[in-house]
Structure 1
Amino acid sequence: MASTAPPRPRARPAHTQGSTHCAYTPDGSKLVTVGSNNTIRLYKTGFDGEPINIDDCQEQNVSVDASNEFFVVGSEDGTVSLYSIPDATFDKFLLRCSLPIRDVALSPDSKWCAVASDELTVKLVRTDDNTQIRHLKEHNKPTKHLAFDTKGMTATLACSDGIVYVYSLTSDEPELINKVDGVIAALDTESEISSKIAWHPDGRAFAVPTPTRDIQVVSKNDWEKQRVFANGHNGDVTALAWSPNGAILASAGKDKKILLWETKTQSVIARLDYANVIDIAWHPRDNLVSFTNSDGEVYIHPDFVPEQFAPLLKLGKQPAPFIHDPLSETSAIARRPLETRPPPIRQRRDSAGSYDSLMDGALPEDDDFVIDDDGAGYVINGNGKRVHDDLDVFGEPVSKRPHLEPEYHEAFQPGSTPWRGNRKYLCLNLIGFVWTVDQDGHNTVTVEFYDHEFHRDFHFTDTFLYDKACLTENGALFSCPPKDDTPATIFYRPHETWTNRTDWRTQLPKGEAVLAMSLSDSFVTVTTTANYVRVYTLFGIPYRVYRPKSTPMVTCASWRDYVWTIGNGPVGADGHTRLLYTIENVKRDEMCQNEDTVALPDGATLKSIFFSDNGDPCIYDSTGTLLTLLHWRQPSRASWIPLLDTKLLPRLASGRKTETYFPIAVADSKFHCIILKGGDQYPYFPRPLLSEFDFSVPLTSEPPKPKKTPNPDAMDQDGTPEPDTGDDDDESETRKLEQQYLLKGIAAAQLQDLVESSSGSSSSAQRSGLARLELEIDKTLLQFLAVECREGEDRGMRALELVRLMRDRSGRMVEAAGKIAERYGRSVLGEKIREVGELRVGGGEDDDDF
C-alpha cells in the first residue's frame, strides 16, 4: 500500500523554461543545476539562502555530472565544459563536438568523462588531459544516454535505435562486448521520454525504462532481464535514480507522478504529485532528494522518503533485484569459491554474516579486508637475520598473524547452468535435456529427449521450484532447495512402469540442502550441505548414508553400482584447497579409490565430471582439457590421462576464432560438447546443437599440416622437376599414428581393467573386443614401422623399438614386420627383427628389458 506524501517543498526558479538537470557532488556538500539559460547554480546543502551563480557558461545546457572538485556540463552547441567547484568558475572546454551534446558522465574515479552527442561516436576524454581521447564507435547510432558501471569497467549506451550497447573499458581500445535489445524504446535523442541507464549501487545490474512504462532490471553477468518494476506509471518514464544504498528506486513519468519503489519487493511505497520532472538526484547520505523539471525549476526535498520507509535508507548496500540472485545460488557452506588465480593474503576485520542477513543488510565491501600484497615473506635485517625472536616465519608477532582464509572450490551440478534471467537448464546430456522457466510463483519444467521413438517429451507445473535434475534412459530425478520451514525435497519419476505408480518423493532433514546429485541404473546419489552422501535405490529406499572425509562437498557422479564423489581436501601452499575424489562400488561395498587427488593445474577449476558410455570417470577443467581416469578399479593405481586439449583444436589454429566448450559427455570415443561463442560461459536458449570432437592426446601445439601437392614449377639444379620427398606427408602420418597408438593403448587398458574386474562374469564380447584392440595396436605399429623404414637406415633403432612394443605373442605380427623391412631393403633391421621374433616365440624375451 503506497504511503501518503510528505510535506511539499517549494519550487525554486533556477533557469528559464526548458531542459533542466541536476547533480550532487559525491560528498553531498553541493548541488549543481544547469538549464537553458547561460547561468549555472551551485546550491550548498543545508543552506536555504541564494545559490552561487556561475554566469560565464554556455546556453542550452542539457547534462551535468559532478565530482567533489569539479563538474562537467554538456551543451547543445556541442561543447563540454569543466568548472571548478571551489572557485565556482569556468576552467576549460573539455571537448567540442560538431553536433549537440545529449549526455555526459564521469567515471567513478572522475578521471574520464564520457560524452554522448548526435554524432555516431561516443568519446571518452581524460579530465586532467583532454588530449587523451578514446572512441566508442561500433554502435553506428546516436546515443541518448550513457553511464559507467560502478567500477568504471564498462560503459553502457542507450542509443536511438532502441538498443543498449555495452563496451568494455579494460584496455586502451574500448571493445563492444554486448548488445541488449528488446528492453528500451527507440527514441529521438531530444525526446523528453527517458531511456536512461541507472546502475544499481551494488554494480551487478542496471535499470532502464521500457516502452510499456515499466522499469526493467538487467544483470551485468549475462545481460539478461531480471525483476521488473511494473504497473506504476500511467505515462512514459522521464527520469529514474537509485537511492545510494540501492534500497529504493525513484522514478518520474508523464503522468505527473514521482514514484518510490522498494527494491526488494518492486512495490510502490509512495506517490508524489510533481509534473514535468526530467532529472532526479539523491543526496549521498541524507533522506534528501532534488529534482528538476522542464519549467526550469528545481525542488530540494528533505524527508523525501516517508517516515515509515525512511529506515530503508539506513541499511547497508542492498542487492539488486534478481529473479534468481547469484548470491543465493552459492552453497549454504558460505565459503568463498575458488578464484582463477591466487588472491592476496587477506585479513578479515569482522566475520561475514549469513545470506539471510546479507539480504536484509549490507553487501560485503572491499573495505572489509586489509590486503597484504607486498610479497614480503618475513622480516630480516641488514645481516640477513630475523629482527626479533618472537616473530613468526612471516616476520610478524605471533599474536598479530593474519588469518589465512582458504579458497574452497564451489559446489556444482554437472550438466546444469546458472539462472539466466528466468530460465535455467537443469540437465544437459546425451539422453536429452531438462529446463525450467520461472513463472513468478511457480516454475514450468520441460523434459525433452533426443530419441522420441523410446520416450515422449513431457512438461509439468512445478510448485516445488526444482533447481537440479538428472536424466537417464530409465527416469528423471529432481531436487529443490529448502525454503522457510519446508525441507529440501528429492523427487524421482521413472519413464515407464508396470505398476500404477512408482515415482517417489522424500525430504531431507530440515535445513539440509542438496549440493549435487547423480542418477545411475541402480542408485540415486545425493551430496548435501550437511556433508553427507545419501544413497537411495531407484524405488526410494535409503541404501546408505555416510560422511565423506573431504568436505565441503563439490560434486558427484555415478554409473551402475559405482558412486564417485569429490570434495575439498587439504589447503595447498597457495591457499587453495586440493580436490580429493573417492570411487566405490556401493553394492559390493568395495573401495576403488579413497581420497585420491584430482589432477588440476594451479588456479584451474573443475567444470564437469561424468562417466563415459563405457563407465570410465572423466573430468573437464577450466583450462579446456578433458581427462580420463586409468586403472581406477585398482586401489592406489589410478592416474589421470589427457584425452583432449580443446585449446589445440585445429579449428582454433588460425587464432581468428575464439570459442569455449560446455562439456556434455564422452561416448563412442568422442568428446560431446556445446560450442560457446561471444564470451559465453554457458549455453542459452534456444537450445544449441551438440558438437563432437575426436580425442587427441596433447603432444604438440602445431596443427596437422595439409597434404602437400606436387609443384610442377619447382625445378632442381639440373632443370628437371623437383621430386616430392613426401617429408611433410610422413610427418603428418607419423603424428596420426602416434595418436592412434596412444589412444588405442588407453582404450585397451580401460577394457582390460573392465574384463579383470568382471573376472569370470566378463562377457565373451568384452574379451574378443580386447583382442581386437590389441590387434589394432599392432597394426598401427606396423604402419608406423613402414614410415620409419622409408626414412632410412638411421631410423633403424627406432623402428626396432616399434617391433618390441607389439603385443602379439604368436610371432605373426613380428613376421609381418620383417617382411616390411625387407620390402624397403633394410636387411640389418630385418635380421634384428627376426631375432626379436625368435626370442618372443621361444619365450626368452624379458619384457622388463624394454
Structure 2
Amino acid sequence: MASLIASRPRPRPAHTQGSTRCAYTPDGSKLVTVGSNNTIRLYKTGFDGEPTNIDDCQEQNLAVSTSNDFFVVGSEDGTVSYYSLESNLFDRFLLRTSLPVRDVALTPDNKWCAVASDELTVKLVGIEDNTKLLNLNGHGKPTKHLTFDPKGSMLTLSCTDGVIYVYSLTAEHPELIRKVDGVIGRLETESEASCRAVWHPDGRAFAVPTPTRDIQVVSKNDWEKQRVFTNGHSGDITALAWSPNGALLASAAKDKKLLVWSTKDQSVVARYEYPNVIDIAWHPTKNLASFTTSDGEVFICPEFVPEQFASMLSLPKQPAPFIHDPLAELTLNGRRPETNGTNLASRPRRGSLDSLDDLLDADYGDDDDGFVVDDDGAGYTLNAGRKRGANDDPFGQRPSKRGNFVQPQHHVSFQPGSTPWRGNRKYLCLNLIGFVWTVDQDSHNTVTVEFYDHEFHRDFHFTDTFLYDKACLNEKGTLFSCPPKEDSPAVVFYRPHETWTQRSDWHIELPKGEAVLAMSLSETFITVTTTGNYVRIYTLFGIPYRVYRPKSTPIVTCASWRDYVLTMGNGPVGADGMCRLLYSIENIKRDEICQNEDTVALPEGATVKSVFFSDNGDPCIYDSTGTLLTLLHWRQPSRASWIPVLDTKLLPRLASGRKHENYFPIAVADNKFHCIILKGGDQYPYFPRPLLSEFEFSIPLSSAPRPRKKKPNNLDGNENEHSDDEMLDSDAEDNADGEGGGKADNEALALTQSYLLKSLHTAQLSDMVSSSSSRSSASQRALLARLQLDIDKTLLQLLAVECREGGEERGMRALDVVRLMRDRSGRMLEAAGKVAERYGHSVLVAKIRELGEERVSGIGGEEEEDDDEF
C-alpha cells in the first residue's frame, strides 16, 4: 500500500516547554491537554476559537485520563487531581504519592483510577470513594506506563526493568498473571521514549515500541510476538495510538516522523514531518486526531487520514494483526450454525477479515451482563455491574439466545497431537515416535521432524512452500496436509521413512475448495476428513481405497490403528445447546462396522481434547475435565462403554491444593498415560520442547489423599518448609497409628484399584483374542491366563486385609470378595479358606467351603458363566 505525505495543520501554543499530554473524552466532544505550566486547556471539537482554561491546577502535569464527565491528572509533585467537566473546575485530590506520578488510567467503567509513580507500588484508587485503595506490588521496579485492556479486566505495566507486567483484576485482589520479557527496553521514567503497551480495540493484543525502533504486537492468549511494524522510524518511538476501530495505527518518534500504518498489512499509508511529538489521541468517531509536543504545542488535525484511506476508519472493528489469527482460522475452518433459517456460511465475504465483526455480531448478543459480578457489593471488581451495550466489542463473548431458542453449538474440528499457532511457531504432531514442528518465515515455512530413537530414524527438515498446517507421524512415515488457497487446492503429502525404490513419496490434491479437518496415519491406511463432509481413505502408496460421507457432521476428528478407523462428528443437539459428539469405528479392510454413531461419554459442557489408540489398539479419549477414558468391548456392536482410567484432578501431586497444572495428552502405552505437564495456566506446550511425563492408571474411586500440615520443627519453628511428599508421609503415619484404620483402608483401596485395572486389561485382551481367534498367538493366550490368575491373587490379598482388620461383622464383605474369584479348579477357594482359617473366622471358612461345593456341583452356574467383570 503506497504511503502519502499528508497536509500540515497549524500548531497551537498551549503550554510551556516540557511534557505535554492530550486525551479526547469518550464521546469526542472535548480534547483535554495538560503540560508543564499551571493551566489545563479544554478544546471543543469542531470549534476553532480559544479553548477553555482551568488555572486552578498543579504545575508539571505529566499524565491525563478522561471520561465524559470528569478527568484526572497526575503531576510531578505526586498528586492525582480530579476535575469536573460540568463545571470545568478542580474538584478534589484523589491520591498523593511520595514521588512523581508518571501515568494515570481510568477503567472503562470510570470507577477506578490506576496510578503509576516512581514508587515501586502501583495503586488503584476508587473514583467515588478514594478510601478504597488496592496495591499492585508484584513488580520490583518503578512503572513508566500503565494501560487497561478494553474490558478493564487486565492492567499492563511497562516498568523500567524492561518487563511488561500483566495483572488480572477479576478477583478481589489484583493478581500478577504474566511477565512479558524481551519486548521492551530498559527506560528511565523521565525518558521521552515510550514503552507503553497500547491495547488494540478488539482486546486480544497490544502493540508496544521496541528498542530496535519497531512496533511489536503481542497477543493476550499466549503472550507471544505477533506481527511487527518495521522500517518506519529511525529514532526512538515516543507515542503510539490505535484508531478507534483498530484499522490504523499512528506512531511518532524522535526522527521527526509521525506515521499512520495500516493494521492489516503493516504498511505506512500517511506521513507527517513533526519534531518532538510525545502524545497522540484519535477522535472516537471522526477522521480527526490530535498530538502534542515537548515544546508545549498542540496540533488538531482534521482529515488526519488522507482521502484515499479515510474509508478505513468507517470499517467495523478490525482484528489485531496476528501472524495466524485463531479467530479467523476458526471462521474459515468451522461451519456456522444456522440462524433464523439463514446459514451464516453463505454470507458474502465469509471469513474475510473485513467482515469478521459482522460474522461475530450474528452469533453474539448484547443483552448479557459483564462476565465478572460484584457478588457482595463491595465494589472491588473493577468492571462489576457493567452491562454490554450494542457498540461493545464482540470478541470473546458468549453465544446468546435468539428469542426462546438456543443456537446449536458445534464441536470445532481439531487435529490430535497438534497445537495452535503461538506467534510464528506450532507443533504439527506430538507423539511417542517423535514430533513435527513448523516455523512461519512469511514467504514460506520451515518444517522439522525429530525422532526420539535416532538408531532407527534420522531427523530431517525442509523448506515448506505449501504451508502445511497438519501432520501425522508413525514408524513408517510422515503425513502432511495444507489448506486450500485461492488459486490452488488442498494437498495431502506422504513421505515414508524407508523405501526400496528411488522415490516413493507422493502428494494428492483434494477437490477445489475442500479443506482437511483432521487426518490419521496407521500401519496400513491414511484417513483424511474434509470440509466436504467426506472421509477419504488411502493406502500408504496414495491409492484411494474408500470415500464415504459419515452420518455425523460436521466432522470433528479421527484416529486409526492398523485396519481400524475411528471418526467423530457432531450429532443431534442436547439440552445444553451443544451438539452431541458421536463416534464410529470401522474395520476398513474387512468392511465391518464395530460401532455405528455411538455417543461419546462426556459430562455437560465438556469437550474432547484428544483421541488416539493405545499401543494395544484400544480407543482412548482425553476430555476437558482432565479425565482419560478407554473404550471397552468396542469390537462388539452396541456393547462399547467408556471406562475412566485416570482423573488428573485426583493426582496425589495436586493434593496440597497449591499446585495448579494442566496436562497435554500424548499417548497411552504400557498401561500408562503419557503427557506433557503444563505450568502457569498454559493449555498447550511451547518451545523449547518440554519433556514427556507418565502417570500410572488410577480409576477414580475416591478423592486424592489430603496432606496434613506438619508440626513446626522444634529447631527453627518453620511450619511451611516441607514438601508435599513429606506431608503425605506424615498423613500416612498418622493413619497407621490407628485413626480410623486409615492404613488398612488405603491398602484395601490400592488392591481394589489393582483388581479393577487388571479386570479391564483382561477384558480388553480377551476381546482382542476373540476377534482374531484364528490369528491370536500362544503368547496372547498365555498372557490372558496369567492376568486371570493375577486377578485372583489380588482378590486373595484383599481377602487377607478384610480378615485381618475386620471381625465376623465383615464376613459378608469378605465372602463377596471370594465370590469374585475366577478360578474354577477350586485351588483359589482352598487358599481363601486357609486365609480365613488363619485369622480365626470359622463362620467364613464354612461359607467358603459351601461356595466351593456349589461350584463343583454346578450350582451357581450364573456366576460361573459371568466371566467378565466389566
Indicate whether the TM-score tops 0.5: yes
Q: Which residue of 2 aligns with 1:833?
A: 848
Cα distance in 2, alignment partners of residues 544 and 771 from structure 1: 39
Q: Which residue of 1 aligns with 2:182?
A: 182
Cα distance in 2, alignment partners of residues 476 and 707 from structure 1: 47
Paired amino acid for 1:783? Q
- Per-residue deviation at 1:329? 2.3
Q: Which residue of 2 aligns with 1:392?
A: none
- Equivalent residue runs for 1:381-530 within 5 Å: 401-402=403-404, 404-530=406-532
Q: Which residue of 2 aligns with 1:322?
A: 322
CA separation of 1:67 and 1:140: change in aligned 2, threshold 3 A: same
- Equivalent residue runs for 1:142-153 within 5 Å: 142-153=142-153
Could you give the per-residue CA deviations for residues 589-641 of structure 1, whole angstroms, max 9, x where no partner exists?
A: 00000000000000111111110000001011111000111100000000111
Paired amino acid for 1:475? G
- Per-residue deviation at 1:4? 3.3
Paired residue for 1:531, among 530, 533, 546? Answer: 533
Paired amino acid for 2:63? S
Paired amino acid for 1:212? T
Cα distance in 1, alignment partners of residues 145 and 733 from structure 2: 60
Q: Which residue of 2 aligns with 1:597?
A: 599
* Partner-residue secondary structure (3-state), 1:761: coil
Could you give the per-residue CA deviations for residues 714-739 of structure 1, whole angstroms, max 9, x where no partner exists?
A: 9xxxxxxx997993321111011000
Paired amino acid for 1:817? A
Could you give the per-residue CA deviations for residues 645-700 of structure 1, whole angstroms, max 9, x where no partner exists?
A: 10000111111111111111110011111111101011111111111111111111
Could you give the per-residue CA deviations for residues 2-38 of structure 1, whole angstroms, max 9, x where no partner exists?
A: 4332321110000001000100011111000000000
**Does the Cα contact within 8 Å between 1:346 and 1:370 map onto a contact in 2?**
no
Unaligned runs of 5+ in 1: 338-344, 375-399, 715-721
**Does the Cα contact within 8 Å between 2:655 and 2:706 map onto a contact in 1?**
no
C-alpha RMSD of matched pairs (Å): 2.3
- Per-residue deviation at 1:759? 2.1
Paired amino acid for 1:21? R
Cα distance in 2, alignment partners of residues 268 and 467 from structure 1: 30
CA separation of 1:357 and 1:459: change in aligned 2, threshold 3 A: closer
CA separation of 1:622 and 1:529: change in aligned 2, threshold 3 A: same
Residue 793, structure 1, aligned to residue 808, structure 2: yes
Q: Which residue of 1 aligns with 2:396?
A: none
Paired residue for 1:776, among 780, 786, 790? Answer: 790
**Does the Cα contact within 8 Å between 2:43 and 2:51 map onto a contact in 1?**
yes
Could you give the per-residue CA deviations for residues 349-384 of structure 1, whole angstroms, max 9, x where no partner exists?
A: 99585675541245256697546779xxxxxxxxxx
Q: Which residue of 2 aligns with 1:761?
A: 775
Residue 818, structure 1, aligned to residue 820, structure 2: no
CA separation of 1:181 and 1:725: change in aligned 2, threshold 3 A: closer
Cα distance in 1, alignment partners of residues 665 and 362 from structure 2: 38
Cα distance in 2, alignment partners of residues 413 and 600 from structure 1: 19
**Does the Cα contact within 8 Å between 1:346 and 1:404 map onto a contact in 2?**
no
Q: Which residue of 2 aligns with 1:242?
A: 242
**Does the Cα contact within 8 Å between 1:328 and 1:355 map onto a contact in 2?**
no
- Equivalent residue runs for 1:348-387 within 5 Å: 353=347, 356=350, 358-361=352-355, 363-364=357-358, 369-370=364-365
Cα distance in 1, alignment partners of residues 553 and 418 from structure 2: 22
Q: Which residue of 1 aligns with 2:681?
A: 679
Paired amino acid for 2:847? K
- Per-residue deviation at 1:111? 1.4
Cα distance in 2, alignment partners of residues 48 and 709 from structure 1: 78
Paired amino acid for 1:26? P
Could you give the per-residue CA deviations for residues 292-338 of structure 1, whole angstroms, max 9, x where no partner exists?
A: 0000000001111111111111111111110101123216354469x
> Which region of structure 1 is more displaced relative to structure 2, 815-824 or 205-214?
815-824
Could you give the per-residue CA deviations for residues 378-421 of structure 1, whole angstroms, max 9, x where no partner exists?
A: xxxxxxxxxxxxxxxxxxxxxx9555310111111111100000
Using the aligned pairs only, state the percent identity.
Answer: 74
CA separation of 1:475 and 1:6: change in aligned 2, threshold 3 A: same
Paired amino acid for 2:242? W
Paired amino acid for 1:254? K
- Equivalent residue runs for 1:680-699 within 5 Å: 680-699=682-701
Cα distance in 2, alignment partners of residues 424 and 372 from structure 1: 37
Paired amino acid for 1:818? G
Could you give the per-residue CA deviations for residues 738-762 of structure 1, whole angstroms, max 9, x where no partner exists?
A: 0001000000000010011002211
CA separation of 1:483 and 1:129: change in aligned 2, threshold 3 A: same
- Per-residue deviation at 1:565? 0.4
Cα distance in 2, alignment partners of residues 123 and 255 from structure 1: 34
Cα distance in 2, alignment partners of residues 246 and 331 from structure 1: 19
CA separation of 1:638 and 1:788: change in aligned 2, threshold 3 A: same
Cα distance in 2, alignment partners of residues 226 and 803 from structure 1: 64
Q: Which residue of 2 aligns with 1:126?
A: 126
Residues matched between the structures, number = 810
CA separation of 1:697 and 1:79: change in aligned 2, threshold 3 A: same
* Partner-residue secondary structure (3-state), 1:548: coil
Could you give the per-residue CA deviations for residues 127-182 of structure 1, whole angstroms, max 9, x where no partner exists?
A: 12211111111001100001000111100000000000000000120000001000
**Does the Cα contact within 8 Å between 1:237 and 1:251 map onto a contact in 2?**
yes
* Partner-residue secondary structure (3-state), 2:309: helix
Cα distance in 1, alignment partners of residues 691 and 258 from structure 2: 48
**Does the Cα contact within 8 Å between 1:16 and 1:36 map onto a contact in 2?**
yes
- Per-residue deviation at 1:287? 1.0
Paired residue for 1:541, among 528, 540, 543? Answer: 543
> Which region of structure 1 is more displaced relative to structure 2, 305-314 or 554-563?
305-314
Q: Which residue of 1 aligns with 2:761?
A: 747
CA separation of 1:685 and 1:309: change in aligned 2, threshold 3 A: same
CA separation of 1:349 and 1:478: change in aligned 2, threshold 3 A: closer
**Does the Cα contact within 8 Å between 1:331 and 1:411 map onto a contact in 2?**
no
**Does the Cα contact within 8 Å between 1:332 and 1:529 map onto a contact in 2?**
no
Paired amino acid for 1:211? P
- Per-residue deviation at 1:845? 2.8
**Does the Cα contact within 8 Å between 1:21 and 1:279 map onto a contact in 2?**
yes
CA separation of 1:403 and 1:347: change in aligned 2, threshold 3 A: farther
**Does the Cα contact within 8 Å between 1:206 and 1:217 map onto a contact in 2?**
yes
Cα distance in 2, alignment partners of residues 300 and 372 from structure 1: 37
- Per-residue deviation at 1:76? 0.5
Cα distance in 2, alignment partners of residues 168 and 357 from structure 1: 31
CA separation of 1:368 and 1:532: change in aligned 2, threshold 3 A: closer
- Equivalent residue runs for 1:620-699 within 5 Å: 620-699=622-701
Cα distance in 2, alignment partners of residues 287 and 328 from structure 1: 27
CA separation of 1:785 and 1:711: change in aligned 2, threshold 3 A: closer
**Does the Cα contact within 8 Å between 1:62 and 1:73 map onto a contact in 2?**
yes
- Equivalent residue runs for 1:246-285 within 5 Å: 246-285=246-285
**Does the Cα contact within 8 Å between 1:217 and 1:321 map onto a contact in 2?**
yes
**Does the Cα contact within 8 Å between 1:258 and 1:271 map onto a contact in 2?**
yes
**Does the Cα contact within 8 Å between 2:213 and 2:237 map onto a contact in 1?**
yes
**Does the Cα contact within 8 Å between 1:103 and 1:115 map onto a contact in 2?**
yes
User: TM-score by structure 2 length?
Assistant: 0.90
Cα distance in 1, alignment partners of residues 321 and 551 from structure 2: 38
- Equivalent residue runs for 1:44-83 within 5 Å: 44-83=44-83
**Does the Cα contact within 8 Å between 1:348 and 1:370 map onto a contact in 2?**
no
CA separation of 1:275 and 1:709: change in aligned 2, threshold 3 A: closer
Paired amino acid for 2:313? L
Unaligned runs of 5+ in 2: 370-401, 708-727
User: TM-score by structure 1 length?
Assistant: 0.92
- Equivalent residue runs for 1:99-248 within 5 Å: 99-248=99-248
Residue 808, structure 1, aligned to residue 823, structure 2: yes
**Does the Cα contact within 8 Å between 1:3 and 1:306 map onto a contact in 2?**
no
Paired amino acid for 1:155? L
Paired amino acid for 1:117? S
Cα distance in 2, alignment partners of residues 634 and 368 from structure 1: 41
Cα distance in 2, alignment partners of residues 515 and 335 from structure 1: 11
- Per-residue deviation at 1:797? 1.3
